[in-house]
Amino acid sequence: METSVAEIHGYPPRPEDFEEPLFPTRESRRAVADHLLAAPWLSRASDLARPGGRGGRAVRARREPVEVGEDGSAGGRVWVARGSGRKRARKAWVVETLARWREVGWWWDEDRTTDEVTVRVLLSGGTVADLARERSGEWFLVGVLD
């Protein structure tokens, strides 16, 4: 599904003729949720197509440090390894970069602010993983789609 940021920002944030405050009652919360769920750019992971025609599932992984590197002897291929040191798992090769986005959180609180780039990649073996790189340069596994 290809959607532009402008299309998302142009989508009305509430149903037509809906007055403030948005969430005073249970019914109003439901009306706003139904309105947002009708957005053409929003989809559920369970509705995503998978090979074989089955719906997909998204699983958010706990934030786990990973090692990401480039193998010069393998034509510059990029690899990802979970764990560290002796317990490091085998390397999984990045087959394709599927998406990339930036996430900024807690921007209003200087002590808690986060700023990271997240990359969705297809790994050898068929796993689709979300990897986040913080400003410090550290990489983390933050999600897995199966």
Q: Give pLDDT tens digits for 21-65.
A: 666 787 877 877 787 777 766 655 555 554 444 444 556 667 899
Total domains present in the chain: 2
65 and 27, same structural domain?
no
User: pLDDT (tens digit, 9 = 90+) per residue, 95-105?
Assistant: 999 999 998 88
Domain residues for the domain of 13 are: 5-42
Mean pLDDT, rounded, for 102-122: 88
Query: Would 136 be classed as within a structural domain?
Result: yes
- Residue 53 belongs to a domain: no
Average pLDDT value for residue range 135-140: 92
Residues 38 and 62 in one domain: no
Report if residue 49 sits inside a domain.
Answer: no
Same-domain status, 86 and 125: yes
Per the rule left: phi > 0, alpha: psi between -120 and 50, beta: everything else, 31 is alpha
68 within some domain = yes
Cα four-point dihedral sign 32, 45, 120, 51: negative
Quote the tokens at residue 52: 């074989």
Q: Mean of the per-residue pLDDT values for the chain?
A: 78
